Structure 1
């Protein structure tokens, strides 16, 4: 898990969205029929990772 400092978010906005999947060799995304697209969100995010913590799974 990352410990973060100096987090900054800027230029955030919401608006209408369009989605197009272009054809690419070996991919099938362009064959999918897009049913619906909601809102589009955009923002710039910056942060500094100051430390890392190892997470241990105790469920077993």
Structure 2
């Protein structure tokens, strides 16, 4: 058994099953990744969720 942590290299990304894709940027979401779920949709991070909401939700900009 080799105890050198660099002996085996990084895990092959193709061996990780893809679960879905980000609802905003369409990046792949893989099993074991931390993601955001909002109303049944998956987002890779809070930035993508924010951008998605700005596109989908009706809002108005006002000057106070």
Assess same fold via TM > 0.5.
no
TM range (shorter): under 0.3
More helix by share: 2
TM-score by length of 2: 0.19
